[in-house]
Amino acid sequence: MKYLVVLDARSVIGAAYLNGVNDGIADGNPCLTCTSLDSAHPYFSEAVRSYRYRGESRQQRLQIPHHAIAFVVMYEIEGEETALRPFGFQPAAP
């Protein structure tokens, strides 16, 4: 499963990624594509992000405060074809 984490641009981490290396912009907010996301901690979410730097693949581990996350979209859900998909995603046409 992958996660699209949309950060609030008004937060410190959101402003840093808005002007830095992000994976896209959604309505003025920076987006990060994460391969792992754990929101069990009471103050922050732990995320793992893969990116390329100078042609080399790297991983970045982040601890993002909950208040800095605008919303999260799950996609590329593993499992059966009949598995439930997140709101807004439809199965491919046969």
Q: What is the pTM of this model?
A: 0.77
Mean pLDDT of 27-56: 91
Closest by CA to 33, choosing from 67, 63, 7, is 7
Residue-wise over 62-94: b if at least 16 C-beta within 10 A, else e? bebeeebbbebeeeeeeeeeeeeeeeeeeeeee
Residue 52 has pLDDT above 70, yes or no: yes
pLDDT band at 10 (very low <50, low <70, confident <90, very high): very high
- What is the residue type of 4? L
Closest by CA to 22, choosing from 39, 10, 34, is 34
For the chain, the average pLDDT equals: 84
